[in-house]
Structures are given as C-alpha cells and as structure tokens.
Amino acid sequence: MKNAWPNELLSLHFIASCCAFCISVLHVYCVLQVIKVFSEDHTSRAVEVPNDITARDICQLFVLKNHCVDDHSWTLFEQLSHLGIERTIEDHELVIDVQSNWGMDSSSRLCFRKNYAKYEFFKRPLDFFPEHMVCVSRETNDTMTHFQLIQTFLDSNTCPEICGYLHAREQGKKSWKKLYFVLRRSGLYFSSKGTSKEPRHLQFLAEFSDSDIYTLQSARKSYGAPTDYGFCIKPTKSDSPQDLKVLCADEERLRICWVTAMRLFKYGMQLYQNFLEPHQKQKVSPMRSISENSLVAMDFSGQKSRVIENPSEALTVAVEEGLSWRVRSGGPHALLSLAAIHRAQPWFHSSISRDEAHRLIVQQGLVDGVFLLRESQSNPRTFVLSMCHRQRVKHFQILPVESEGELFFSLDDGQTHFTDLLQLVEFYQLNRGVLPCKLKHQCSRVTL
C-alpha cells in the first residue's frame, strides 16, 4: 500500500495536467472568431480575430494587407441595412461586442473605408460648432478659441449645451414635427414651449450611455424625412425600428454639429485619447502620409536645391517638366498612354455621376481639400474635379485646351494648363490657384 499512493497521486496529477492543457487549448480556439468586413466596392474579406480586437486593430490589419497609406483616416463602420442607418465604430470599441448586438438573421455588416472627418473637430472645433448653437456658462463674453471650446466639451465639470431646431419623427407615426432641442451631458431634450429652456418646459428624449448615434443613409426615402440630413439615437441592445429616436437637420453642417457633440458627450476624453494615439505611435515609428499638406515645389537644377515659393514659377517648372517627361517617355508614341495615366490614380473615379461623387465625398468626410476626379457626363471630352470646401461639395469642370498642336487640360479656360490630369492634381496640391483651397485628401476606394 505504501508504494500505491505515490503512483496514484502521480496518475491524478497527470490527468489534471492533461485537463488543464485541453482547457487552455479550448480557450485559445474559443477566443478566436471570424468576422467579415466589406469595402465600398462591395468586395469583402473574412478574417479570424481574437475577442479583444478593437476597431483600430482591424483597420491596421487591412491597411497592412492592402498596402494602404496609413494616414489615420481609415475607419470601421457599422451598417444596419434593415434600418438604413450606419455609424462610425470608435477606434477603442471591441468589434466582437458590436457584432454581439446584431440579430441572428440580421443584414448588418462591417465596412472599411476612409473618414477624414473622424477627428477633424479636435483640430478646428469652431468650424464644427456654429457660435449661435453653442451655449457655455462663462464669466466673460469673450469669443472662445479652438482650444477653449474643445476643453469645454472634454471637461466633465463644465456644462456646454448645443441648442437649435430639429425635425423629429413622432413616435409611432410617419409625421414629423419641428422642435427646439437642447443637448446636454445628461441627454437630449426638446422644449414644449418655443425656445424656452426652463426645466418645466424641457422634455427628456434620450441619453447616450446605453445608446449609439447613427446617420440615416436615405432619410427621405426610408423615413419620409423633410430633408436628407437625418440621424437617429438607437438603444445598443435593441434592433427594433420602434425604439429609434429619429431626427433630421436642415443642413449637412448642422447634422455634423449635433452628431459630433453627441459623440463627445458619450465618450469624452476617450475620444481625445483615440485622436492622440496614432500620433504618439508615429513618433516611434513614423509613416509618411500623402494626405498631409506638406508637399512643396522644389528646384534641383542648381548646385543647391531650393523651395519654389512663387506659384507662377512653380507652374512654369511643372509645365516644362511635363513636356520634357513626354519627350523622355517616347515622344509622340507615348502620348496616348500618358494621356490616360490618370486612370491608374486612386483619386480617379471614371464615369461616376455627380450625385455619386457627392455621396462618396460626404461618406469620406466633409473636410477641406477632400477631392476626386471623374469623367463629365454632360460632355464626353471633359473631366470634373469634385472637392469639399467649408463642408460643402463643389464641382469644377476641367476643359481640354489646344496649344501649338498639343492637347492640355485646364481649370481656368487655358490661363494655366497641364499636359495630363496627374500633373494638374499635383500642381493644385501645392497651389490653391483658382480653387477655394488646395487639394489635400484623395477620395479613394480599396478592394479587399
């Protein structure tokens, strides 16, 4: 019996070790899940990910897999097709947690695309929050700086308000009513008496701790809204249309103001940390961003290189370089291929319509300098530059111009002309010229 106990104990220890190993292996397999991510061209890719993967991690994964330039604008969106709504999944959110709120037969999906406006309000808050809509308790009436305004939203001890009119869909009805709304840290309220903000007149509509803010993809068609600038507040755990608080603004910039303020009230400092994180990492492992306004014209003809600051000189050098490039590239035989060089550029979107160009720019963020080029639908021989300025999408016709038997492209009736569209884009990335601002961020799609 004396020798039996050690062997028995050894057997029990071996069995326990095997069980522990099996449990650990099972745990590894259990924490990995498959998610499917779509791009704007409806291609998709399924990847196996751990339970604790964040939206930023997913974006970094696809940036690397698709060899994209990491300019910190890539974003993961949640699209609920059966409700016709979508939202930005914040960089810190766990993707598996987002999916866990979907129904078994849901048509919901994840979408990977650019969003240049995701954190733009931290850089230029005064452009996102119109002065007449922001109410802040201040001892002085001095105009706030960018820094003071954003600090007001981030400081939990302050009580900023966003006030203004919105159209609200009446609960259980298809009719809409225009009401005066007040947004506070505690939630969203509407006034039962004009623009009064007295407590007895303010009625609670929604709060954000257990809710998410979505934009409507087709407000007029799907919800009968009076404008296209709809958004809604949806309880996180509910997928029912009856639980949506549906609203719409009169202008896109007003919708952006309301949605941005709600994001700030919901996430606070976490949103600011999300904004800072990639820039802090960049100090350790810097990556060049082609979207930054850092391109300059250079002259390398002399013994020392120099920056060309005169726009006229920069244009002359650009045109001369373009002409010499044609000669070096094979003369007349290469003209056809050079004329079509724009087709290989990510900012060229071929024959999309004006409305589609507008939708694409809005989707990727109404930030100054977001742009794309497309073929004109009204004139087959011309092209159109579509770009954003002051949260509005504008369209400029690019005309073909003949000079000394050569074909050029121009935005200003031939005063400045370029050998091809690539040269035109590169020039206006350096110089504003006739445009309201420089071209900064290319509107591009990626195939997964």
Question: What is the number of other CB atoms lying within 10 angstroms of the CB of residue 267?
Answer: 16
Token pair recorded at residue 272: 């600011």
Look-up: residue for tokens 């291609």? 43
Strands 109-114 and 32-38: parallel
pLDDT by residue for the chain (448 residues), tens only, comes to: 444 445 554 454 544 455 554 444 444 444 789 999 999 888 999 999 999 999 999 999 999 998 888 888 999 999 999 999 999 999 999 999 999 999 776 789 999 999 999 999 999 898 899 889 998 765 444 667 778 888 888 888 888 899 999 999 988 788 999 999 999 999 999 999 999 999 999 999 999 999 999 999 999 999 999 999 999 999 998 888 999 999 999 999 999 999 999 999 999 999 999 999 987 766 554 444 444 445 556 665 665 666 666 665 665 555 555 545 444 444 444 444 555 788 889 999 988 999 999 999 999 999 999 999 999 998 888 999 999 999 999 999 999 988 888 889 999 988 898 999 999 999 999 999 999 999 999 998 888 8
Token pair recorded at residue 230: 């709809």
Residues 258, 163: Cα–Cα separation, whole Å: 9
For residue 282, what pLDDT is reported? 60
Instruction: Find the helix or strand (DSSP H, E) in which 388 lies.
Output: strand 383-389
Residues 116, 272: Cα–Cα separation, whole Å: 16
Angle between helices 311-328 and 421-430 (to 10 degrees): 150
Token pair recorded at residue 442: 């290319």
Angle between helices 252-267 and 146-154 (to 10 degrees): 50
Residues 91, 279: Cα–Cα separation, whole Å: 14
Residues 99, 108: Cα–Cα separation, whole Å: 9
Residues 99, 311: Cα–Cα separation, whole Å: 51
Indicate the Cα dihedral angle 263, 68, 110, 223, nearest 10°.
60
* Cβ neighbours for 366, distance < 8 A, ≥ 6 positions apart: 117, 252, 253, 256, 388, 391, 392, 393
Token pair recorded at residue 445: 């799609």
pTM given for the model: 0.78
Report how far apart, in Å, the C-alpha atoms of 273 and of each of 118, 209, 253 are. 13, 19, 25
Integer Rg of the chain from CA: 27
Strands 441-442 and 370-375: parallel
| Bridge partner residues of 396 (DSSP) | 385
Token pair recorded at residue 9: 């104990």
Q: Dihedrals φ, ψ of 11, to 5°?
A: -65, -45
B/e letters for 167-190, b = 16+ CB within 10 Å, e = fewer, are bbbeeeeeebeebbbbbbbebbbb
Token pair recorded at residue 218: 């087709």
Helices (H) then strands (E): counts for the chain: 13, 21
